[in-house]
Structure 1
Amino acid sequence: MKLIAKDCSPLNPQPTAAEADWLRRVAASVRAGDFVVPISGDRDDDEPIVYCSWDGTWWAGRYVGSLSFEGRSLVIEPRFGLATLRNWLFEATSVVLTESPGRLRHDESFIAQLLASVWAHGFVEAARHGLPALSRDVATKGPTIRGRLDVAASIRLIASASREVVSVRSERSLDHAASDAIIAAYGVLRRWLGVPDEQWMPARAKELIPHLMAVTGPRPRVPTKAELDRIRYTPITAGFAPIAELSRQIANRRGLAADVDASGETKGVLLDVAELWEMYVLSVLRRSATPLSVKHGTRERDASKKLLWSDVNGQGLGTLIPDAILSAGNDVQGVADAKYKSLHPSANAPNGPQREDLYQMAAYLGRFAPLNGKAAWGLLAYPDDPSRPTVAPAEQYSPWGLDHGKRVVFTSLPHDAERATEKLRGLISQMTSERSALRTQA
C-alpha cells in the first residue's frame, strides 16, 4: 500500500478504514525527528507526520518526503509544488537546484536533489579556507624524544630493559570523525542521485573530496553524534561542525525512504518545510528592512528571553524566541514570526490566525518591546496560497491594535523573493512611520 499526500493538507482521497488504522500506528509510533534532515542545523519542536482532526479528517503535517512503516509507504509532496521550494531554497541559501535525472522516482528525486545541494553548498562554504586539518596527538617510540615525553609509558618501556622512550607530538591531520561523516554522506548522495560525472557537485567540492577520501577510504564508518561532539575545531575549521552533523544525518539514511522491504523496517527521509519557509522569510526580511537591523532570534541565542522570572531564585520560565527582531540600535521596533500555515479562515481557526499564534505574538511584544511609550509592532508572515486569491480578512483589516500603541500586522508573502521583498518593504515603512507618529503624539 502506498499513500500520497500533500503537506499541511487533508489527504485526498481520505483513507479507507484499513489505511486509517495504519496511519494511527504511524502517528503513535513514528517520531518525525528521527527522519527529518535539518537544512539550517537548528529546528523547532517536532509535529506529527500525520494526524486526525476533531472531525475525523486525516491531515499530513508540515513535512515533505517519504516514509515506509510496517511494509507500507507514505509519500508527502509539497503543496505549493517543487518549483516553489526551489525558489525558497535559492533565496535562503543561494543554492541553485539543477535538473538531475537519475534512477530515483519523481516523488523522491527532489528530496535527494535538495539534500545534495544543501550539503554541497555547506561543504564548499566550510572549506573556504581549506579542509578541516585538526591537531591530534601522535605517540612515537624511539631512542630520542620528539615532542613531549610520555613519562608513564617511557618508565614502563625502560622497566622492560628497552633503550627507547615514548614521546608525544601534535600534528595536523584529516583523519577524524568529521572527515568520515562527510565522505559517508557523499557516498550516500551519489547512490541516491545516480548522476554521471558528479554533475550535481560544484567544481570546488569535486576538487576537495578526493583529498578527504584518500584519508578515510571510499566507505568510512559513520561516526556517532557523540564522536562528532568531541571534536575540537579551530576558529578557521569551526564551519565544518554543522556540515559534519548534516553529513551524519544523511549518511544514516542509506535507503531513500519509500524502499519497502520484507522486514518492515521503518525508513524515511523528511524535510521540514516550515524550517525552509522560516529561512526564506528571514532572508527576504533582511533585504527589505534596511536601515533596521534584523536579528534572528531562533539562531542567535542571546536574543532569547524568558517570559517569567522567579522572585525566589531568579529562574526563568517560558522561553520566548521570535524568528526575527527588528531594531534601530538598541531600540526594538518590531518582532516578526514566520508561520507555515493558512491565513484564511477555516473550521479550526474561524478568524484565520490560530489563537496560539496570537498569544505568542502578544507575549513577544510584551517581552521585547518596552512599555515606555515607544510603540512597537509585530509581523506574522504566511505563505501566499495561489488556490485562494482573495485577501484573508486578518490581512485585509491590518494593522490590529494592542495596548501601549502596539500593532500586529498579518501578511501573506508571494513565493517570488523580489515581490515578497517589495511587499515587506512597504509594510515595514508603513509601520515605522505610524510608530514615529504615535511617539510624537505621546
Structure 2
Amino acid sequence: MTERKGTAEGTEHPDRMVIKDLTSEAYWDSPPTSEEQSWLASIAELSPERYVLSAQLDVDHEPTIEPILTRDIDGWRANRYIGEIRHQGRTLVIKPRLGIETIMSWISTILNVQVLPLTAANTTDSTSAVTQLMAALWRASVLTAAQHALPRTGQKVSSYGSAVNGRLDVGATARRRAAGHRDLVSTRVVRTYDNAPGRAVVLADRYFDQHLAGARWRGPRLEEHLSTLRIATGSRPAKPSLHEIQRTRYSPITVKWRRAAELSWRILNKDPLGVAAQDESTHGVLIDVAELWELFVLHCADLATGQPVRHGTTTQASGYLARSVVDPQRTMGKLYPDVLVGKESTIALLDAKYKRLGGRRGVDREDLYQLHAYASTFKAPLSALAYPDITDDVSEEEKNSPWQTSTGQLSFLTLPTEKDHCVAKLKSWFGVG
C-alpha cells in the first residue's frame, strides 16, 4: 500500500511515500514510478544499523541487521523495520500492517508493563505514529528501570569551615593552610538524582511532550517518577554525552537505568522530526518489529508451558552445527534458535519469523533448512517456525503440519498477535492441558 497524501488537509506530497510492512509491491495501491523505483533501490542500499532505535529489552545479543527493503517476485517489500527514512530530499514511511496498538501490546507483554500512549486512531499523521511507537519503547524502558529504584548516584561535595563535615581532606587542607587560610577542608558523598541518566530521561520526556502535545501518554506511575527527576535536574538540565551515561556508576538495582538513559540519548540525537524537508542528507528512525515479534513469541511460550523456557538467541543457550572429531573443542556454525523449551534436554523449539506464511512465497528454503538444522542440533522432537497470523486463510504448510523428518516433527504455525489467543494456540501445539 502506498500513499502520497501526508496531511489531514489532504495536501499532495510527491516527496513522501507511505507503505506498510509485510505487504509486497504487487499489493500496493499504486505501483511506484520509474523514478520512485530508483529511489527505493537507493534506500535498499542503506545500512539500517545507524537508524535502528532499540531499547535492547534486556536481551544481550548482537542485533540482526537486514536491508530496509528487498526485492522479490512481488517487487519491493519492507523487511523487519517500521519507521521513517528521509533520503535524497524524499521520505519513506513504513507503517505496521498489524497496527500500532498491536505493536504496543507486544511491548507491554515483553516487559510486563502497561504501555498507554496516544493510539493511532486519534491521528492521521504518519510521523505521529512513528513517534508514538518511539514513546512506547521509551516509556516501557523507563518503567522497567524504575521498578526498584530511581537513578540515584553519589557526588563528592567539598566544604570549608572550622569543623569537619564528613571526612577530612588532608591534602586540600594542607594546600589551604599553605595559602594562608585557617579553615579545614572536608568531603562527603551526597546522593542525588541530578546525574547523566536522570538528565537524559528528563530531556527525552520533554521531547515526547512536545510531539505528543495534549496526549495523556505517560500514565500516573511514569509521571510520579519523572516529577522527582525533574525537581532534581532543574528547569534547564544540560544534555549529557553518551560517554557520561556509560561511565556513570550503577548499582545492581539501578543498572537498568543505563539502558533507559542510552535509549533517551539515541532518541534525542536521532530526532526524525527535526530535519528540514529540503535536507538532502539521510536521516531517520527505524524500530525492529521482528525483534519485538521474537520476544513476544518467547513470552507467550513461557506462559503456555510449565517447562523452563530459554531465549536461544542469548549466548547461554546456543548450539553448533558441527564439531571436530579430531579436536572436540573446535566447532563450526553456531546456532541461535529463538525459543528453547526444556531443562535437561530440549523438548521443543520455536523460531519466530516476522513475515507472511503462504501464498506464492510459501516457506523460504533458507528458513526450512535453518529449522531442520536447529531441530537436529538440539535433538528437539517438536520444532516450528512461528509467523504472525495476518490472513484469514490457513496456508498449505500449516494445514499439513506437522512434517516428519529423521529427527522429529517440523511445524509451520501462524500465531495470533493477541497475547491470550497466542498462548492458547501454543498450549495446543505443546500438548498442554
Distance change >3 Å, CA 128–CA 83, structure 1 → 2: closer
Residue aligning to 2:51: 35
Corresponding residue of 1:425: 427
* 1:215 and 2:217 are equivalent in the alignment: no
Work out which of the residue numbers 191, 204, 209 in structure 1 matches 2:221. 204
1: distance between equivalents of 2:108 and 2:179? Answer: 65
Is the CA contact (8 Å cut-off) linking 2:104 and 2:136 kept in structure 1? no
Q: 1:309 to 1:148 in 2, by over 3 A?
A: farther
- Summarize deviations over 1:66-96 as a string: whole Å, max 9, x none: 2212211111111233344344344434434
Q: CA deviation at 1:35?
A: 2.1
Deviations 1:152-171 (A, max 9, x none): 54554444444455444322
Supply the distance in 2 between the matched residues of 1:219 and 1:360 (Cα, whole angstroms): 52
- The correspondence of residues 9-408 of structure 1 with structure 2, limited to 5 A, is 9-11=23-25, 12=28, 13-28=30-45, 30-41=46-57, 42=59, 44-53=63-72, 57-93=75-111, 94-97=113-116, 99=118, 105-142=124-161, 144-150=163-169, 152-164=171-183, 166-195=185-214, 199-256=216-273, 260-289=276-305, 291-298=306-313, 300-308=314-322, 314=329, 317-327=332-342, 329-346=343-360, 349=361, 352-369=362-379, 376-386=381-391, 389-403=392-406, 405-408=407-410
Q: CA deviation at 1:247?
A: 1.6
CA distance in 1, matches of 2:104, 2:147: 25
Deviation at 1:201?
Answer: 1.2
Q: Which amino acid aligns with 2:209?
A: R
Deviates more, 1:178-187 or 1:149-158: 149-158
1:256/1:269 contact within 8 Å kept: no
Q: Distance in 2 between matches of 1:78 and 1:86?
A: 11
Distance 2:223 2:186 in 1: 38
Change beyond 3 A, Cα 1:130–1:366: same
Structure 1 vs Structure 2 CA RMSD: 3.1
Tell me: CA distance 1:312–1:230, structure 2 relative to 1, closer, same or farther (3 Å): farther
- Displacement after TM superposition at 1:145 (Å): 4.6
With normalisation by structure 1, the TM-score equals 0.82
- Partner residue of 1:415? 417
Using the alignment, how far apart are the partners of 1:4 and 1:139 within structure 2? 57
Specify the SS of the correspondent of 1:325: strand
Structure 1 pair 186/317, CA: closer, same or farther in 2 (3 Å)? farther
The answer to whether the 8 A contact 1:104-1:193 is kept is no
1:436 equivalent in structure 2: none
TM-aligned CA deviation for residue 381 of structure 1: 0.6
Residue 439 (structure 1) aligns with:
none
Gaps of 5+ in 1: 370-374, 433-442
Checking the alignment, whether the CA contact within 8 Å between 1:343 and 1:412 is kept in structure 2 is yes
Q: Distance in 2 between matches of 1:107 and 1:39?
A: 22
| 408-417 vs 82-91, greater mean Cα deviation | 82-91
Q: What code does the residue aligned with 1:294 have? A: V
Identity percentage over the alignment? 34
Deviation (angstroms), 1:146: 4.2
Give the direction of change, closer, same or farther, for the CA distance of 1:163–1:284 in structure 2 (3 Å limit).
same
TM-score of the pair, normalised by structure 2: 0.84
**Matched position secondary structure for 1:223:** coil
CA contact (8 A) 1:339 1:380 kept: yes
Q: Which runs of 5+ in 2 are unaligned?
A: 1-14
User: Which one is further off, 418-427 or 259-268?
Assistant: 259-268
Residue-by-residue CA offset, 1:237-289 (whole Å, 9 max, x unaligned): 223222222222222233437x5433324332222221221122122212212
Shift in alpha-carbon separation, 1:344–1:147, aligned structure 2, 3 A: same
CA contact (8 A) 2:117 2:218 kept: no
What's 2:11 paired with? none
More displaced, 93-102 or 186-195?
93-102
Helix, strand or coil at the partner of 2:346? strand
- Would you say the 8 A contact 1:65–1:270 is kept in 2? yes
Structure 1 residue 190, shift from structure 2 partner:
0.6
Q: CA deviation at 1:99?
A: 4.1
CA distance in 2 between partners of 1:146 and 1:228 (Å): 29
